[in-house]
Amino acid sequence: MSWETVIGLEVHVQLATNSKLFSGSATAFGAEPNTQASIYDLALPGTLPVMNEEVLRMAVSFGLAVDAEIGKRSVFDRKNYFYPDLPKGYQITQLEFPTVGRGSLKIQLEDGSEKTIGITRAHIEEDAGKSLHEDFQGMSGIDLNRAGTPLLEIVSDPDLRNAKEAVAYLKKLHSIILYLGISDGNMSQGSMRCDANVSVRKKGATEFGTRTEIKNVNSFKFVEKAINYEVQRQIELIEDGGRVVQETRLYDSDKDETRSMRSKEVANDYRYFPEPDLLPVIIDEEYIAAVRATLPELPAARCARFVSEYALSIYDADVLTSDRAMADFFEAVVTLCGDAKLSANWVTVDLLGLLNRSDLSISESPIKPEQLGTMIARIKDNTISGKLAKTVFEALADGETDVDQIIESRGLKQVTDSGAIEKLVDDVIAANPDQVAQYRAGKDAVFGFFVGQAMKISKGKANPAQLNELLRNKLKAD
Partner 1 sequence: MLSKTVAELAGALTRKEVSARELTQAYLDRIHQLNPALNAYVTITAEQALAQADAADARRAQGNAGPLTGIPIAHKDIFCTRGVLTACGSHMLHNFIAPYDACVVERLEQAGAVMLGKTNMDEFAMGSSNETSWFGPVRNPWDQARVPGGSSGGSAAAVAASLCAMATGTDTGGSIRQPASFCGLTGLKPTYGRVSRWGMIAFASSLDQAGPLTRSAEDAALMMNAIAGTDQRDSTCLELPFEDFTAQLNQPLNGLRIGLPREHFTKDLNPAVQAILQEAIRQLEILGATFKEVTLPNNYLSVPAYYVIAPAEASANLSRFDGVRFGYRCANPANLDDLYKRSRGEGFGDEVKRRIMVGTYALSAGYYDAYYIKAQKIRRLIKQDFDLAFNDVDLILGPTSPHTAFKLGEKVSDPVTMYLEDIYTIAVNLAGLPGMSLPAGMLNGLPIGMQLVGPSLSESRLLNVAHQFQKSTDWHTQRPEV
Applying CB under 8 A, the span of 12-20, 76-84, 93-101, 214-222 interacting with partner 1 comes to 76-84
Can residue 138 be called a binding residue for partner 1 (CB under 8 A)?
no
Q: For the chain, count helices (H), then strands (E).
A: 16, 15
Can residue 39 be called a binding residue for partner 1 (CB under 8 A)?
yes
Distance CA(91)–CA(339), nearest Å, equals: 53
Applying CB under 8 A, the span of 25-33, 161-169, 270-278, 434-442 interacting with partner 1 comes to 270-278
Can residue 87 be called a binding residue for partner 1 (CB under 8 A)?
yes
Tell me which of 1, 48, 266, 293 binds partner 1, using CB under 8 A.
48
Give least dist CB 248 to partner 1, A.
Answer: 18
Can residue 147 be called a binding residue for partner 1 (CB under 8 A)?
no
Distance CA(301)–CA(445), nearest Å, equals: 45
Can residue 142 be called a binding residue for partner 1 (CB under 8 A)?
yes
Q: What DSSP string describes 200-214?
A: EEETT--SPPP-EEE
Distance CA(187)–CA(326), nearest Å, equals: 19
Give 324: exposed, middle or buried? Use CB within 10 Å, 0-12, 13-18, 19+: buried
Distance CA(378)–CA(384), nearest Å, equals: 6
**Strands 103-108 and 114-126, bridge-based pairing:** antiparallel
Residues between 182 and 241 that touch partner 1 (CB under 8 A):
none
Can residue 20 be called a binding residue for partner 1 (CB under 8 A)?
no
From residue 159, how far is each of 131, 137, 338 by CA, in Å? Answer: 34, 47, 41
Give least dist CB 346 to partner 1, A.
Answer: 54
Distance CA(304)–CA(446), nearest Å, equals: 43
Tell me which of 28, 109, 279, 311 binds partner 1, using CB under 8 A.
279
**Strands 212-217 and 247-252, bridge-based pairing:** parallel
Q: What is the DSSP letter of 246?
A: P
From residue 73, how far is each of 69, 94, 141, 283, 284 by CA, in Å? Answer: 11, 11, 39, 6, 9
Give least dist CB 249 to partner 1, A.
Answer: 23
Q: Which is nearer to partner 1, 81 or 449 (CB)?
A: 81
Tell me which of 3, 29, 33, 43 binds partner 1, using CB under 8 A.
43
Can residue 89 be called a binding residue for partner 1 (CB under 8 A)?
yes
Q: Which is nearer to partner 1, 84 or 112 (CB)?
A: 84
Can residue 46 be called a binding residue for partner 1 (CB under 8 A)?
yes
Can residue 277 be called a binding residue for partner 1 (CB under 8 A)?
yes
Q: Which residues contact 365 (CB under 8 A, 6 or more apart)?
A: 329, 351, 354, 355
Give least dist CB 244 to partner 1, A.
Answer: 23
Can residue 84 be called a binding residue for partner 1 (CB under 8 A)?
yes
Give least dist CB 340 to partner 1, A.
Answer: 52
Applying CB under 8 A, the span of 38-46, 93-101, 326-334, 463-471 interacting with partner 1 comes to 38-46
Q: Which is nearer to partner 1, 141 or 366 (CB)?
A: 141
Contact 58, 177 (CB under 8 A): no
Tell me which of 12, 17, 49, 355 binds partner 1, using CB under 8 A.
49
Pick from 337, 339, 335, 353: nearest CA to 393: 353
Q: Which is nearer to partner 1, 45 or 419 (CB)?
A: 45
Give least dist CB 80 to partner 1, A.
Answer: 5
Residues of this chain that bind partner 1 (CB under 8 A): 39, 42-51, 78, 80, 82, 84, 87-90, 142, 269, 271-273, 276-279
